[in-house]
A and B are shown apart, each in its own frame.
Chain A
Amino acid sequence: MDELRSRLEPRTPEQQAHAARMHELRSPLTVLVGRVQLLRRHLRGGQ
């Protein structure tokens, strides 16, 4: 399991920074997209 875990480590600081940026971007995007989808669902249901 530790061997598997070690494979998650980016090999360079640049890759690590890129992965961290992607995480920081994708979480808010997920919330935004999810909220819009929920709102659209409610609006459709209210019609």
Chain B
Amino acid sequence: MPRPSTERSSSPNGYQPHILAINNDPAVLSLFRDLLQEAGYQVSTQNYIDRDLDQIKALKPDLIVLDYMWATEDASWSLLQMLRMDPSTVAIPIVLCTGAVHEVKALEEHLVSMGVTVVLKPFNIDQLVDAIRERLTPEHPPIVAST
């Protein structure tokens, strides 16, 4: 069982939407943290996929940025399903970042129907921030963004 490595950062300047970034690569998490804090969000990071949703439920993120990790494909997919099956997490918008372009494109329609916005790697940082901003605005539907 990996040691939980979730850390949360915030700014004292009023309410900021809370983003949880899940990725097994510390360099990617570090980039997400810097980018999203600069964009005005609170950021929590988690460098492993926990099949137990308790940690996510405790963090109560407004949005989850999930990396679809090829090396841990089953875990990524299981987490996605669990988040959509649990009543307390079903409404949390999910932005899926992935380099598995072919595989995810094959499931594009289904992912959108699950309320998942897909951002394909490598992406422009503005694409990711725009996708997050749009998903935090209720009237915007999920999208698939690619370079």
Contacts and interface: CB of A to CB of B under 8 A. Distances in A.
B35 A34 contact: yes
B124 A38 contact: no
Interface residues of B, number: 30
A38 B110 contact: no
A27 B34 contact: no
Interface size for chain A: under 10, 10 to 19, 20 to 34, or 35 or more residues? 20 to 34
Contact of A20 (B70, B102, B107, B125): B70
Interface string B30-53: 010011001000000000000000
A44 interface: no
Main secondary structure of the interface of B (DSSP, over half): helix
Interface string B77-91: 100010000000000
A23 B100 contact: yes
A22 interface: yes
Interface string A25-39: 111111101110110
Interface of B: 25, 27-28, 31, 34-35, 38, 67, 69-71, 73, 77, 81, 97-103, 106-107, 110, 121-126
